[in-house]
Amino acid sequence: ISELTDYISGKQDALNEKNTPPINYRSKIVQDNYNNIHDKYYGNPDVMGPDPMHGTHVTGIIAAQRNNGIGMDGVADNVKVMMVRVVPDGDEYDKDIALGIFYAVDNGAKVINMSFGKSYSPQKYWVDSAIKYAEQKDVLIVHAAGNESADIDTKENYPNPHFLFQNNTANNFITVGASNDPSMGQGIAADFSNYGNKEVDVFAPGVKIYSTLPQKNEYGNLRGTSMAAPIVTGLTAMLRSYFPNLTAVEVKQIIVNSVMHPDSTLADYKPGTQQAIAFAALSKSGGIINADNAVKQAENLEKKWAAEKSKINNKTATQLK
């Protein structure tokens, strides 16, 4: 009942705001010059904000302490988490997203999880510059595909890896859809997940995901591509910690190339509909991430490098003789 009350209240607010200009809280609270990307010393150290549930749940999926018998295990061990709160309880601003990426890169992040998104990006060139900076600094960005049951090959979804004023795409960017457990009586793709065989790279579990909640020793289930993205981020963190010579682009290639392709006999549906569709048609890779396969590919790549390095060293030694 409380959830229904909140839902009705939100719809009433939306109706009222159709005819009422929004209050410019940013000018009153943040007090930065939004039009100046170089005006970046603003904000506060309150990473909790009005509601820390979403970020806490996402963080636990990536890095909750493993094997301690408490709650649940994060995907990765041996990782540190940098909390950068760039989205308020509402619309995200391009300036905050861009500066958040710059900050994370400059302070040592090797992978950035972005469990947020929107369909309009007025200062996309700022975000593009930050993504390009992350690419130059060998940082992988993992982005949730969104929860509108939409084909983002045709419907805009931001941030994305396509540079606005250049005819090229960032290679350090993974877009993640949410998969479902077909034993629950639905399709393999979650009914809410966005999809696209050009824009979505991989799928990862995003339904009934059990993770940490803000209160001490509190845990619970949430669903969304916001939960699928950190599973990919956790896998990225694991690969980059155990195989530190891998570049961001190589990690992306390994994750995409090592997916598991579900049994083709399992029925699947276009998200949000009852229209039958092959799961493989919903993303570039056509599959769901698989950590075991990814680690094996990383090991094989490392062995290949070692063999090539040995050949070079032997050749150099022969020349010196």
Q: Which H helix or E strand runs over 146? A: none
Q: Which domains can be identified in the chain, with CATH numbers?
A: 42-320 (3.40.50.200)
Least confident piece of the model among 20-24, 208-212, 247-251, 307-311: 307-311
The counts of H helices and E strands in the chain are 8, 6
pLDDT digits (tens, 9 = 90+) for 162-190: 999 888 999 999 999 999 987 776 789 99
Q: Is it the case that residue 145 has pLDDT exceeding 90?
A: yes
Mean pLDDT value across residues 5-17: 87
Exposed (0-12), middle (13-18) or buried (19+): which is 278, by Cβ within 10 Å? exposed
Nearest to 289, CA basis, from 101, 98, 61 = 61
The pTM score is 0.89
Specify the pLDDT at position 221.
Answer: 96
Q: Over 80: is that where the pLDDT of 266 sits?
A: no
Cα distance between residue 33 and residue 27, in whole Å: 8
Tell me the average pLDDT across 112-136: 96
132: how many CB neighbours lie within 10 A of its CB? Answer: 17
Task: Please check the confidence at residue 192 and state whether its pLDDT lies above 70.
Answer: yes
Compute the chain's Rg from CA coordinates: 21
Q: Is 211 helix (H, G, I), strand (E, B) or coil?
A: strand
> How many CB atoms neighbour CB 36 within 10 A?
9
DSSP 171: S
Distances in Å between the Cα of 176 and the Cα atoms of 20, 86, 87, 228 are 36, 20, 19, 7
**Looking at residues 250-263, what average pLDDT do you find?**
95
301 pLDDT higher than 80: yes
Distances (CA, A) of 111 to 127, 131, 236: 16, 12, 7
Backbone dihedral region of 51: left (phi > 0), alpha (psi from -120 to 50 degrees) or beta?
beta
CA pair distance 253, 203, nearest whole angstrom: 14
Question: What pLDDT score was predicted for residue 45?
Answer: 84
Whether the pLDDT of residue 319 is over 70: the answer is no
207-246: per-residue pLDDT in tens?
999 999 998 889 999 999 999 999 999 999 999 999 999 9
Highest mean pLDDT among 80-89, 265-274, 308-317: 80-89
Question: Which residue has 């061990």 as its token pair?
Answer: 77
The torsion defined by the Cα of 196, 197, 203 and 206, in degrees rounded to 10, comes to 20
Q: Which residue has the tokens 């909140």?
A: 6
* The one-letter amino acid at 126: W
Mean pLDDT of 153-166: 94
Q: What is the mean pLDDT of residues 75-103?
A: 91
